């Protein structure tokens, strides 16, 4: 049976408004153990897409959550990651395909009337940079600089994450891309990497399950990043999970290694 309990301190911001996107969505903020105790300590921040699936089985797709709250709580307690703030940003249902896609493209070529995405990812990035992130930085004790700020997602949320990292490296530098939709718009994300003048200061977790249709495209994307200068296991961790499918349950299993790669504990001075 799926869990319906939330672990740790989670604050809910109902119907957070965006003038840039012209809509509202719920935003959940998970705070690390001891957050209120240490009044001056600031924390890195990880922004996760598809926020309905991050903490709570009751709101997640097919009743399966990623369990990020339980995993982060345990890793912080064991001193395996730096205490961080995790912001789960809900998608808006029907507009998800528009907000997460970096380019206009065909969603379903088999439909009688081809459905197209409007390709609003750059606009969604402005929502994060100009509206949500400033609000989070005001409300919570964050480390607002790009080097301490992460983005994450799965599937189209991972494609969005990679696109925003390439476009806005002055705001986001730690990326979790689980099972990214590399296929989108004739593998446009691979072209975006190939078109870079040089490697960007991004630390990237990239993965795929070998039971996902077209999973080999993630390997192609990884090779493009290495060609641009990313170093495996240093600023790029690529992982192929044998037999894993394209599902919330599969991504939940990868939360721990991704967090440990991107937010390792700070050395004791």
Beta-carbon count within 10 A of 186 CB: 9
Q: Give all strands (DSSP E) within the chain, no chain letters.
A: 9-18, 23-31, 45-48, 85-89, 105-108, 115-117, 149-154, 174-178, 203-209, 236-241
Give the domain ranges of the chain: 10-109+116-262
Taking residues 196-213, what's their average pLDDT? 98
| Architecture of the domain whose range is 10-109+116-262 | 3-Layer(aba) Sandwich (3.40)
Q: Is 255 helix (H, G, I), strand (E, B) or coil?
A: helix
Q: Phi then psi for 72, rounded to 5 degrees?
A: -65, -40
Residue 73 pLDDT greater than 60, yes or no:
yes
Local confidence band at 105 (pLDDT 50, 70, 90 cut-offs):
confident
pLDDT of residue 1: 33
Local confidence band at 230 (pLDDT 50, 70, 90 cut-offs):
very high
User: Which residues lie below 8 Å from residue 39, measured CB to CB, with a gap of 6+?
Assistant: none
Alpha carbon distance 163, 1 (integer Å): 35
Taking residues 150-158, what's their average pLDDT? 98
């Amino acid at each position: 049976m799926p869990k319906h309990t939330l672990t740790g301190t989670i604050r809910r911001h109902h119907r957070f408004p965006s003038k840039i996107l012209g809509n509202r969505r719920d935003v959940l903020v998970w705070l690390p153990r001891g957050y209120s105790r240490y009044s001056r300590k600031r924390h890195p921040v990880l922004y996760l897409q598809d926020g309905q699936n991050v903490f709570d089985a009751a709101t997640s797709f097919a009743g399966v959550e990623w369990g990020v709250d339980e995993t982060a709580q345990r890793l912080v307690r064991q001193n395996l990651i730096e205490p961080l703030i995790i912001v789960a940003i809900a998608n808006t249902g029907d507009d998800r395909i528009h907000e997460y896609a970096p380019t206009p493209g065909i969603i379903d070529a088999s439909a009688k009337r081809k459905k197209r995405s409007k390709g609003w990812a750059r606009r969604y990035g402005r929502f994060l940079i100009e509206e949500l992130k400033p609000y989070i930085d005001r409300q919570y004790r964050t480390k607002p600089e790009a080097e301490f700020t992460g983005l994450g997602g799965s599937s189209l949320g991972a494609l969005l994450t990679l696109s925003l990292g390439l476009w806005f490296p002055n705001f986001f530098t730690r990326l979790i891309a689980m099972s990214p939709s590399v296929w989108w718009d004739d593998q446009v994300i691979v072209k975006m990497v190939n078109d870079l003048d040089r490697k960007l200061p991004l630390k990237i977790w990239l993965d795929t399950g070998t039971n996902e249709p077209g999973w080999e495209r993630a390997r192609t994307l990884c090779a493009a990043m290495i060609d641009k200068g990313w170093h495996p296991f240093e600023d790029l961790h690529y992982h192929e999970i044998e037999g894993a499918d394209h599902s919330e349950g599969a991504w939940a299993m990868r939360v721990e290694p991704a967090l440990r790669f991107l937010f390792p504990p700070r050395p004791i001075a």
